[in-house]
Amino acid sequence: MVLAAGQVGWTRDGQPVFPPFPIPLLSEHTVLVLRLLRLMFPYLILVCLAALCMGILNARGHFFIPAMGATLLNVVMIASVLLLAPRFGETLETQVFALGVGVLVAGFAQFAFQVPTLLRQGFRYRWVAPWGNPTLRELVRKMIPATIGVAAFQVNVLLIMVVSYWVDKHVVASFDYAVRLMEFPQGIVGISLATYLLPTLSGLAAEKNYGEFRATLRQGLGYMLYLNLLASVLLMILAEPMVRLLFERGAFSMASTQRTSSALLCLAPGLVAFSGVNLLARAFYALGDTKTPMRVSVFCLAANLFLSLWLVGPLRQAGLGAANSLTAALNCWLLGRALRRKLKTLELGELRAKLVSLLGATVVAGGVAWGCCGSGKRGWVMARCCSNSARCLSRRWRRR
């Protein structure tokens, strides 16, 4: 795609072609995508540098500055839309290039924001010859399986998006909006916990303190379940009101709201599994095992591709959401089984004992949300039922 973007040319009458043969492009949207791709390609280098700095700082016990760097990324991109877009023309097709410029500036800002902290930690750049360096050889050896897994994921996403666009051009956009809403609680809970757990678990694994390793992982899974079970049911119950509040304006119509909320309704049940995969994969990385998550990931991505192609026709964007939720649950289950074999036991009995109460609290939260979204009478009845359920759960918890 990058090579294609660099080779886009135009004939005398202004028609885009691929040299050296005058092959017209399929549509104006394709031309726009390729031009934006050519503009934003340097972001790939910037985001890799930012991720490298983030990994170094996390390993040194710094989490706030890398997280604020990601926040700065979003602030700069939003500012580019508000401040730069009006200066790039009157049409959306020209104003979107302001966001492309904003992506580049945001990528540099995210990287540069972390550099002062790195320097205070004693980091100084110097060239290290990669040939014969044992540390780099070990890094490459462990990086290759993860790279294969990421490459498989990107190919999977590309194929699904191409087929989805062919089935219905609205599917890709609707599914993308739903993913953004689902990623909000996943980022706050799942990614944050995984970021903290990796260096912590790595230190415990290096000390061979596997009892504390299991306890720390169990605690992280408990926090994730408590928060993401609630978020999952609220996303399901409040899918349509949330989408309408956040997006329904301008070209985003009521039909767009219904399409996006149907995708979110099918994605939300997989929220716990998505976050669980992040935490369990970090446990494997901390143990120095990058091959097992790669194998599981490739298998589940193949299953996701099959289910997505099967369900996108009859269910459209809801089919993509269901396929992703099902394969995330499969991924989480397989990683859990593999980790149990590796550590002999995970000691999750305490977590299973609390799961009943967590599910009860989730039902109460879902009932309150459903009642508040309905009529006054239904809301009053649901509030009374949920209040009684909450009291029962509270008494049961105290007896424990």
pLDDT, tens digit, for every residue of 227-266?
A: 888 888 888 888 888 888 888 888 788 888 888 999 899 8
Give the phi and the psi of residue 288 in degrees, each rounded to 5: 80, 15
What is the structure's pLDDT at 112? 92
pLDDT, one tens digit per residue, over 158-191 is: 777 777 777 777 788 888 888 888 888 888 887 8
62 CB contacts (<8 Å, ≥6 apart)?
117, 121
- The predicted pLDDT at position 25 comes to 47
Q: Is there a cis peptide before residue 20, judged by omega within 30 degrees of 0? A: yes
Instruction: Determine the Cα–Cα distance for residues 149 and 281; give it in Å rounded to an integer.
Output: 12
Q: What pLDDT shows up at residue 15?
A: 52
pLDDT tens-digit map of 102-119: 999 999 999 999 999 988
Low-confidence ranges of the chain (pLDDT < 70): 1-27, 130, 149-157, 374-400
pTM equals 0.74
Distances (CA, A) of 172 to 122, 169, 255: 45, 7, 14
User: From CA 59, how far away is CA 197, in angstroms rounded?
Assistant: 11
Cβ neighbour number for residue 175 with a 10 Å cutoff = 29
pLDDT of residue 153: 61
Helix (H) or strand (E) holding 23: strand 23-24
3-state secondary structure of 17: strand
Number of neighbouring beta carbons within 10 Å of residue 303? 15
CA-CA-CA-CA torsion sign (170, 174, 177, 179): negative
Report which secondary-structure segment, H or E, holds 18.
Answer: strand 16-18
pLDDT for 154: 64
